Homo-oligomer: A and B are copies of this chain.
Amino acid sequence: MLSTALFTDLYELTMAQVYLEKGKVDRAVFSLFVRELPKNRNFLVSCGLELLLEVLERFQFTDEQLFYLKSLGIFKDWFLDYLKEYRFRSDLYAIPEGKIFFQNEPLLQLEGSLPDVQVLETITMNLMHYNVLVASKCARCYMASGGRALVDFGLRRAHGLDAGLYSARACYIAGFAGTSNLQAGMTYGLPVFGTMAHSFVMVFEEEEEAFRAFSEVFPDRTILLIDTYDTLKGAQKAIKLMKECVKVVGVRIDSGDLGELSREVRELFDREGFTHVKIVVSGGLSEEDIQGLISSGAPIDTFGVGTKVLTSSDAPYLDMAYKLVEYGGEPKFKLSPGKKTFPYKRQVFRFYDGGKMAWDEVVRYREGGMVELICKDGRPLKTLPSIKEIRELFMKEMESLPTALRSLSKVDDYNVIVKND
């Protein structure tokens, strides 16, 4: 088991030592929420809870880590003993994965002894921030796709290997067909997809030879990359092969005017009766590009997306905060300019109108709303939903999203009423 306990900011540990030394060990509640949605985001998608629980389970200090902390010369031995015994043992409340949520709603709340929940701040934010960020971006692609297939091709430009893994999972939750990322395929049981690279085509003397070689080795899964030299000539070569009874599942176009080229290629194929051959496009696509291509009538079956989605390039971070809202049963709030917080542990009730989300109310916690108690004293209360169940929940959520919020552009904020009761 790889320890995650040192993925924390130094100040979490210095503060915890003060808390313990000064007897500030009453129950505290920290709330993780997004203050304001970024530009172009009309909603966010809850994502990452299952991953967070795994990370919290591994939040245990090893001897080597404790030796390092001791070497810093700032921690007391009794505090290092506290860390040595540290296990995740707090209560965790969350809005379940796949749910849509908005500004000022408590995505996650941790309740436990003050030092116990303080030290989890950094790692909790790191995990939840990226997962929500990327799932919310993927949801925009899903909205734009109008039912065409989406595949995650982005591992190479995600910010690190974790980000690649998490984002493949988030993509699938948000309605993608699958991923090219094999580690994600294995870890989360996701469908995996792939075509071929330009380098593959270039290694052979002739493009046609490359196509032929691939189809011989993988007769049932040949998707030909046709834009290495000339897309339309590439399409003609695909036709030539198919006339020789080579099975071609699809072709991929990765450059040029994707709308125009897909139309021309579709026409070439259809004219010869190869109406079943799918057209896959890729190449730095954003959700706006996808929407643009579809609304222009481009006959594209599958969009491969990567860079812009996995980096959430138009909004690469959220204004997410992990704030103390309650200590020893007393409300806590902060008054710094522009950083108002709401006190107390919270629940969210959602109200509907004709099957569509109408407004949310954020009130003091009681059972029965969107926020669920997930862990009690560190122990999960029930089995978490499977990734397929989360995906289904997301799909349902999308159906109840008001039409106005389905825009890729920013509309007025959804009405979230934070009540002081």
- Which residues of chain B are within 8 angstroms of A161 by Cβ–Cβ distance? 4, 7, 55, 123, 126-127, 160, 162
Residue of chain B at shortest CB distance from A199: B324
Contacting residues of chain A (1-21) with chain B, CB-CB under 8 angstroms: 2, 4, 6-15, 17-19, 21
Report if A403 contacts B (CB, 8 A). no
Report if A156 contacts B (CB, 8 A). yes
- Which residues of chain B are within 8 angstroms of A13 by Cβ–Cβ distance? 182
Report if A114 contacts B (CB, 8 A). yes
Among the listed stretches A84-92, A308-316, A374-382, which one makes contact with chain B, having 4 or more residues with CB under 8 Å of it?
A308-316
- Which residues of chain B are within 8 angstroms of A291 by Cβ–Cβ distance? none
Q: Are A203 and B19 in contact (CB under 8 A)?
A: yes
Among the listed stretches A98-106, A213-221, A241-249, A264-272, which one makes contact with chain B, having 4 or more residues with CB under 8 Å of it?
A213-221
Residue of A127, A134, A324, A338 with highest tally of chain B CB at under 10 A: A324
Given A155-B9, A336-B255: A18 in contact with B163 (beta carbons within 8 A): no
Contacting residues of chain A (185-201) with chain B, CB-CB under 8 angstroms: 185-186, 192-200
- Which residues of chain B are within 8 angstroms of A192 by Cβ–Cβ distance? 10, 72
Q: Which of B2, B55, B114, B158 contacts A203 (CB 8 A)?
A: B114
Residues of A in contact, count (CB < 8 Å): 103
Q: Are B182 and A9 in contact (CB under 8 A)?
A: yes
CA of A6 to CA of B155 in the docked complex: distance in angstroms?
11
Residue of chain B at shortest CB distance from A68: B186
Residue of A195, A197, A338 with highest tally of chain B CB at under 10 A: A197
CA of A196 to CA of B13 in the docked complex: distance in angstroms?
10
CA of A125 to CA of B160 in the docked complex: distance in angstroms?
10
Report if A404 contacts B (CB, 8 A). no
Report if A46 contacts B (CB, 8 A). no
Q: Are A9 and B159 in contact (CB under 8 A)?
A: no
Q: Are A181 and B336 in contact (CB under 8 A)?
A: no
- Which residues of chain B are within 8 angstroms of A156 by Cβ–Cβ distance? 9, 121-122, 125-126, 129, 322
A196: min CB distance to chain B, Å: 6
A387: min CB distance to chain B, Å: 16
Q: Are B327 and A317 in contact (CB under 8 A)?
A: no
CA of A121 to CA of B203 in the docked complex: distance in angstroms?
15
- Residues of A whose CB lies within 8 Å of any CB of B are 2, 4, 6-15, 17-19, 21-22, 24, 28, 30, 55, 65, 68-69, 72, 74, 114, 118, 121-123, 125-127, 129-130, 133-134, 153, 155-166, 180-183, 185-186, 192-200, 202-204, 213-214, 216-218, 221, 227-230, 254-256, 307-308, 311-313, 316-318, 320, 322-324, 327, 332-339
6 A-B residue pairs with CB within 8 Å = A10-B192, A18-B218, A21-B217, A130-B158, A254-B336, A255-B337
